[in-house]
């Protein structure tokens, strides 16, 4: 491809809303352009990379025995109404009506449709097991679209669904996808971790996420170097930690704590430590209210709590007016004694002695509180957020944490959708059974951004060969020097003939501009035909190398080809 013809609108300045490197670089390198919040077009270089990612995903899905099909993105409401998700998705589902006033949506994910497809088209148990997939555009009206295509409202997903006769079959189908995912993310050049994920809300029996490690990731990963355990924050089981307590059987005492609404203010005014307090937080859980208690220096893990409560919607903090109503006090003085709503206490609260809680009275707290003597929670369970330094739930080692970008998710669904929609089969003996499902997603467009996020330097993107929009670039240093231009053209033709996807920078620009652009768009290998051409020498530089090396022009095709073949 000739760069004089290439639609590659590189930018020097990017909008301030581009907060992270991948978003800035994808805009600067002319890969994407924004149309509206969370909605992007892919320009030629961006699309080439996107297609390469798609192809790697497709090859590995096919290798794992999955079959590709393609469904519509514009979907009738019925299947989602049958599963209950027409309501569950809430405002994140794009809903619309046709001219006949019938309900439709733009598909956010396709469990229901694939289930229906199998109901309609599979007639005998002998046709199972079966894994179907598509690479298709999804729509979610995200509350906070951001980070470019990492969290967008229109994005490409590979979604696969497995259909098995029994649990053992599901385990095997799941393992095949697990292995395929490992191959995919390795081929994409990503540094990733597989973590145990929460499966509560979807009602399945097991789930793992593939996380690309990155400080800008929105998901917390807890891991243990000693045994290799890794889980996302929502899932990671917390082992209660003992800390210094105030010993003795001290009598309950009500104390005045004017203007101390927060743990920090209490620590300051009472001269105690945060772990001597217990927070009581009131949540709205569907149509009722509950209280959660954790130690003062801990946070409530709302996903764990939601699973425990078993509610449909995500938990919401209760409105201040409701808190005032329930506690008969200003916000900041809620406590477990005589509260009048169900109390879910974290396991660590059980280990606490003579601690401080709100007194359900403005400007008042209780001290020397002891669980069971002064109040009895309805449920005691692990409901807190894991922290660095916690004990590993598997081996007792030390938990560390880092941030990650979720690029893939695999999930043992069980019978949630087959039950809801009626996907059954008659077994050998004529008995009716329910098909067992798994689902497996990859954020294809998110993978492109995650790769840029992980693989860049101050000068631009450093594409791995496998997904680079072009593999090599030939640059005649001086576009006015006919010999340089001719030699560069010849090299370009030879590389192209050798099967290397090559760019030639034939623009009437200074060499410096061309080098900057080649670095910015991240082409894995660059050959500059410059002054030393008269000695038969050109400059060879892999994008990841510090500086260029001189090589004979006659070796250039072989050297580039060898590098590309070794790294594809
Ligand atoms: P997240 O927690 O990031 O919102 P999710 O768990 O809702 O994602 P899934 O339903 O598991 O997402 O979708 C499968 C994959 O699709 C995710 O692993 C992710 O890579 C990708 N994905 C999900 N939402 C978006 C989005 N808004 N923009 C881009 N990719 C997305
Ligand atoms: Mg997910």
543: closest CA among 515, 568, 511? 515
Residue 447 CA: which ligand 1 atom is closest?
A: 20
CB 444 within 8 A of CB 53: yes
CB atoms within 10 A of CB 287: 8
Strands 74-76, 525-529: pairing kind: unpaired
> In terms of DSSP H, where are the helices of 231-351?
263-270, 302-309, 320-327, 347-351
Can you tell me which atom of ligand 1 is nearest the CA of 407?
20
Q: How many residues does the chain have?
A: 568
CB contact set of 15 (below 8 Å; sequence gap of 6+): 27
CA gap 280, 259 in Å, rounded: 17
- Residue 137 in contact with ligand 1 by CB distance below 6 A: no
Atom of ligand 1 nearest to the CA of 411: 11
Query: Binning pLDDT at 50, 70 and 90, where does residue 270 land?
Result: confident
How do residues 326-350 score in pLDDT, each as one tens digit? Answer: 999 999 999 999 999 999 999 999 9
253 pLDDT above the threshold of 70: yes
C-alpha distances (whole Å) from 560 to each of 435, 471, 512, 543, 564 are 51, 9, 22, 12, 6
Strand pairing report for 525-529 and 472-476: parallel
Q: Decide: 434 and 411 in contact? Cβ < 8 Å.
A: no
Q: What does the pLDDT read at residue 204?
A: 61
Does the pTM surpass 0.75? The reply is: yes
pLDDT tens digit sequence for 485-544:
999 999 999 999 999 999 999 999 999 999 999 999 999 999 999 999 999 999 999 999
Phi and psi at residue 129, to the nearest 5°: -75, 160
Q: Out of 40, 145, 157, give the residue to mutate to test ligand 1, the one with the largest number of ligand atoms within 8 Å of its CB.
A: 157
297 lines ligand 1 (CB under 6 A): no
**510 alpha carbon – ligand 1 mean position (Å):** 43
**Distance between CA 43 and CA 321 in Å, rounded?**
50
Pair 438, 430: CB distance under 8 Å: no
Identify which ligand lies nearest to the alpha carbon of 440. 1
Residue 503 sits at φ, ψ, to 5 deg, of -105, 145
What per-residue confidence (pLDDT) applies to 261?
Answer: 81
Give nearest CA residue, ligand 1 atom 26.
151
Residue nearest to atom 18 of ligand 1 (CA): 408
Q: How far apart are CA 381 and CA 308, in angstroms?
A: 8
**Cα separation, 404 vs 73, whole angstroms:** 29
Reference 383, options 290, 282, 292; nearest CA is 292
Q: What is the pLDDT of residues 212-241, one digit of tens each?
A: 999 999 999 999 999 999 999 888 999 999
**Residue 550, both tokens:** 């001189």
The answer to whether the CB of 157 is under 6 A from ligand 1 is yes
Average pLDDT over residues 60-71: 98
Strands 206-213, 192-196: pairing is antiparallel
pLDDT digits (tens, 9 = 90+) for 307-324: 999 988 889 999 999 999
Cα–Cα distance measured from residue 60 to residue 159, given in angstroms and rounded to the nearest whole number: 13
Q: How confident is the model at residue 203 (pLDDT cuts 50, 70, 90)?
A: low
Q: Which atom from ligand 1 is nearest to the alpha carbon of 157?
A: 16
Spatial CA neighbour of 303 closest among 229, 214, 236: 236
pLDDT digits (tens, 9 = 90+) for 462-494: 999 999 999 999 999 999 999 999 999 999 999
Which residue is closest in CA terms to ligand 1's atom 23? 443
| Two structure tokens written together for 361 | 């009275």
Give burial (CB, 10 Å; 0-12/13-18/19+) of 497: exposed
Q: Quote the ligand 2 centre to 428 CA distance (angstroms).
A: 36
Bridge partners (DSSP) listed for residue 541: 526
Q: Is the CB of 173 under 6 A from ligand 1?
A: no
| 110 Cβ below 6 A of ligand 1 | no
3-state secondary structure of 444: helix
Please report the pLDDT score of residue 200 as a whole number: 61
Distance 355 CA to ligand 2 centre (A): 38
- For residue 553, how far is its CA from the centre of ligand 1 (angstroms)? 47
CA of 240 to the centre of ligand 2 (A): 27
Task: Identify whether the C-beta of residue 412 lies closer than 8 Å to the C-beta of residue 170.
Answer: yes
pLDDT for 192 beyond 70: yes
- Nearest CA-CA partner of 71 in 159, 185, 172, 202: 159
User: Does residue 199 carry a pLDDT above 80?
Assistant: no
Say if ligand 1 is within 6 A of residue 61 CB. Answer: no
Residue 136 in contact with ligand 1 by CB distance below 6 A? no
For the record, the structure tokens of 189 come out as: 């050049």
Residues 81-104: tens digit of each pLDDT:
999 999 989 899 999 999 999 999
Give me the sign of the Cα torsion angle 396, 401, 407, 413.
Answer: positive
Are 504 and 3 a contacting pair, CB within 8 Å?
yes
Closest-lying ligand to the alpha carbon of 108? 1
Structure tokens at 41: 């077009």
Rounded CA separation 202/208 (Å): 13
Q: How many CB atoms lie within 10 A of CB 437?
A: 26
β partners of residue 253: 367
Q: What does the mean pLDDT of the chain come to?
A: 95
Q: Is 108 in the pocket of ligand 1 (CB under 6 A)?
A: no
> Is the Cβ atom of 441 under 6 angstroms away from ligand 1?
yes
């Amino acid at each position: 491809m000739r760069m004089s013809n290439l639609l590659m609108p590189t930018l020097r300045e990017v909008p301030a809303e581009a907060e992270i490197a991948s978003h800035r670089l994808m805009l600067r390198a002319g890969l994407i352009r924004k149309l509206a919040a969370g909605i992007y077009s892919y320009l030629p270089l961006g699309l080439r990379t996107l297609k390469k990612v798609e192809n790697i995903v497709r090859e590995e899905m096919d290798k794992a025995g999955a079959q590709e099909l393609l469904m519509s993105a514009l979907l009738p409401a019925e299947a989602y109404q049958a599963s209950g998700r027409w309501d569950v998705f809430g405002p994140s589902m794009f809903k619309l009506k046709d001219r006949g006033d019938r309900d439709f949506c733009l598909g956010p994910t396709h469990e229901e449709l694939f289930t229906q497809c199998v109901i309609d088209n599979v007639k005998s148990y002998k046709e199972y097991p079966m894994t179907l997939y598509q690479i298709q555009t999804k729509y979610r009206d995200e509350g906070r679209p951001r980070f470019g295509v990492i969290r967008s409202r229109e994005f490409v997903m590979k979604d696969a669904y497995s259909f098995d006769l029994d649990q053992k079959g599901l385990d095997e189908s799941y393992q095949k996808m697990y292995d395929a995912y490992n191959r995919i993310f390795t081929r994409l050049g990503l540094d990733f971790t597989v973590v145990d994920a929460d499966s509560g809300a979807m009602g399945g029996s097991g789930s793992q996420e593939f996380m690309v490690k990155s400080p800008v990731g929105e998901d917390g990963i807890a891991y243990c170097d000693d045994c290799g355990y890794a889980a996302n924050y929502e899932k990671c089981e917390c082992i209660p930690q003992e800390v210094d307590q105030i010993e003795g059987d001290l009598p309950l005492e009500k104390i005045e704590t004017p203007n101390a609404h927060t743990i920090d203010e209490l620590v300051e005014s009472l001269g105690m430590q945060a772990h001597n307090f217990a927070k009581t937080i009131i949540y709205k859980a569907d149509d009722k209210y509950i209280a959660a208690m954790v130690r003062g220096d801990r946070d409530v893990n709302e996903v764990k709590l939601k699973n425990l409560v078993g509610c449909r919607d995500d938990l919401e903090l209760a409105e201040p007016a409701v808190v005032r109503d329930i506690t008969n006090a200003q916000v900041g003085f809620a406590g477990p004694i005589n509260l009048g709503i169900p109390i879910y206490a974290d396991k660590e609260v059980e280990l606490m002695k003579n601690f401080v809680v709100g007194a359900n009275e403005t400007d008042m707290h209780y001290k020397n509180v002891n669980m069971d003597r002064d109040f009895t929670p309805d449920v005691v369970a692990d409901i807190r957020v894991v922290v660095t330094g916690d004990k590993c739930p598997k081996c007792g080692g030390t938990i560390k944490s880092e941030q990650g970008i979720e690029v893939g998710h695999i999930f043992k669904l069980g019978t949630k959708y087959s039950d809801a929609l009626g996907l059954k089969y008659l077994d050998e003996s004529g008995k009716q059974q329910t098909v067992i499902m798994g689902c497996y997603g990859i954020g294809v467009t998110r993978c492109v951004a995650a790769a840029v996020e992980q693989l860049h330097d101050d000068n631009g993107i450093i594409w791995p060969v496998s997904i680079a929009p072009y593999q090599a670039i030939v640059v005649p240093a001086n576009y006015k020097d006919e010999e340089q231009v001719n030699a560069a053209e010849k090299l370009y033709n030879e590389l192209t003939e050798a099967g290397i996807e090559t760019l030639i920078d034939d623009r009437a620009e200074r060499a410096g501009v061309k080098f900057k652009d080649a670095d910015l768009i991240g082409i894995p290998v660059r050959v500059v035909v410059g002054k030393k051409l008269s000695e038969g020498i050109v400059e060879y530089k892999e994008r990841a190398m510090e500086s260029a090396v001189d090589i004979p022009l006659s070796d250039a095709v072989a050297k580039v080809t060898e590098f590309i073949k070794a790294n594809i």
